Structure 1
Amino acid sequence: MPLKILHTEYASVTRPIVAFIDKLHERHDERIVVLIPVALPQPLRYRFLHNHLEVALAAALKTRPGVIVASVPVPLRDA
């Protein structure tokens, strides 16, 4: 699967991603699987600072027919 980079001039990241998925779904009548990385920092107290994109993107895509959203946990370690 080729990597597609979306450039946006807006502060919102959700809108361009949803628009891209909608265009892709119009061209191809197949299921689309969206994998959203979920950062899991080692100190538990930092977890509320991460993953706001996951919540917004999952909410925007859950009403789209033929789109499957999956969260992928990504553990973060201290350097």
Structure 2
Amino acid sequence: MDDLTADITPEKRERIDAIKAEMIDAERGHELASLRKAQGFTQVQVSKAMGGTQGRISQTSGARPASTPRRWRRTCTPSAAS
């Protein structure tokens, strides 16, 4: 394995880790959407329960890189939502 990773610079490693985090967040977004649907909740119901907006739930479920669950948590805190 060392021969495969020998030429990875710290900058490349940082980019690889960022991409990996985005992929994990995307998977979590899809999983959250599946769980919401399996429980029979709408995006509006979930957004009201969490103190956010339906738009944020939609973005999280679609897991676009700019609106991953991690970012949703940051933007949906009481201080950020007001």
Give the structure-2-normalised TM-score.
0.27
Structure holding more strand per residue: 1
Give the structure-1-normalised TM-score.
0.28
Q: Higher RCO, 1 or 2 (CA under 8 Å, sep at least 6)? A: 1
